[in-house]
Amino acid sequence: MGNFEEKIALAVRKELLTPEFIARKGGRIFWVKPTTAGDYATFVAEHPAYSDGVAAVYTTVDAAVSVCTASEGDVVIVTEGHTEALASATALKLDIAGVRIIGQGVGNSRPTITLNTATTTTVPVSAASVSVENIIFTANFADIVSVFTLTTANNFKIDGCSFKATAVDMNFLYIVDTDATTSNADGLTIINSKWIEVDTADKSMVKMDGDNYDVTISNNFVQLGAANNTASLMAIITGKSVFNAQIIGNRVFRLNTDTATGAILVTTDQADNSGVIADNFVQHADTAGELLITASSGFGTFNNLASGVAGASGYVLPAIDA
């Protein structure tokens, strides 16, 4: 594996990532400790302070991010089983460019970050090239507007994360909400992630409030409560467009009975969008005027399979060009 990013991914999987390994590329590694006190004592003993006086171990993700240096390849490792709760829009700020936040563990042993207290609780992202990987985010309040709120956040990436409710009527409306400034969310990438909630207020994985380029939403699983004419993957607001999009290989289960105006994957009112929407599988419940993407969107569509009938295999939608 010659690519440094691939080497980091391999090291994380094998739990061999060390400060010395990261230092080869100029960055450092900062740890977010296990939640229990007993684990903490052992963990701190194994991860002492760096020679420059910056501690290696922190109690929250925000504390670890705050000591990172922009664009130096710093990595925050969040330990298996770590939990923390956010109660505002300032409790966790992703405001240092180029930082990777990587959770350890598999399934429910991954770190869990819970958003609660108010609908405005969110994780603001205001720096470029930040990534969040292998972490569970849970909603512990009704209709939390968005997990992540983006401003000046080019190339923000979510990889291998899960989003879910803690109980009935606890939910996210969106996973990512951008701002209205053109190109502030260029390069947005959401891959290999899951959003599973049953609330009928759930809206879209992405709310796109501005014109943006190079957006990727691929290989995700989305299962949401029925909300007619609500796009599951991306809602592009009135008058805005997305260019060079890749919306590929997603699996969507949402039993909307009406998709004719809001579509079920992507909603837009512009015809100048560009990019490819392909190889998505969709189960819905509209047997009349089913629509995956708003008509005349400008996107190219290939081999998307959908069905509005339970137990039936999907057929190509939109129809194959004759």
Give buried/exposed letters for 112-145 (b at 16+ CB in 10 A, else e). Answer: bbbbbeeeebbbbbbbbbbbbbbbbbbbbbeebb
Count helices and strands (H / E) in the chain: 4, 29
β pairing state of 281-283 and 245-248: unpaired
Backbone angles phi, psi at 314, to 5 degrees: -70, 160
Name residue, tokens 């959003």: 195
Among 207, 234, 232, residue whose Cα is nearest residue 306: 232
The single-letter code of the amino acid at 40 is Y
Domain regions of the chain by residue span: 1-177, 188-322
pTM value? 0.91
What count of other Cβ atoms lies within 10 Å of the Cβ of residue 232?
A: 29
Contacts (Cβ under 8 Å, ≥6 apart) of 177:
122, 145, 146, 148, 149, 150, 206, 207, 209
DSSP 204-230: EEEEE-S-EES-EEES-EEE----TT-
pLDDT in tens, the chain (322 residues): 445 555 555 555 444 455 555 555 557 889 998 877 666 777 777 776 665 666 788 999 999 999 999 999 999 999 999 999 999 999 999 999 999 999 999 999 999 999 999 999 999 999 999 999 999 999 999 999 999 999 999 999 999 999 999 999 999 999 999 999 999 999 999 999 999 999 999 999 999 999 999 999 999 999 999 999 999 999 999 999 999 999 999 999 999 999 988 899 999 999 999 999 999 999 999 998 899 999 899 999 999 999 999 999 999 999 999 7
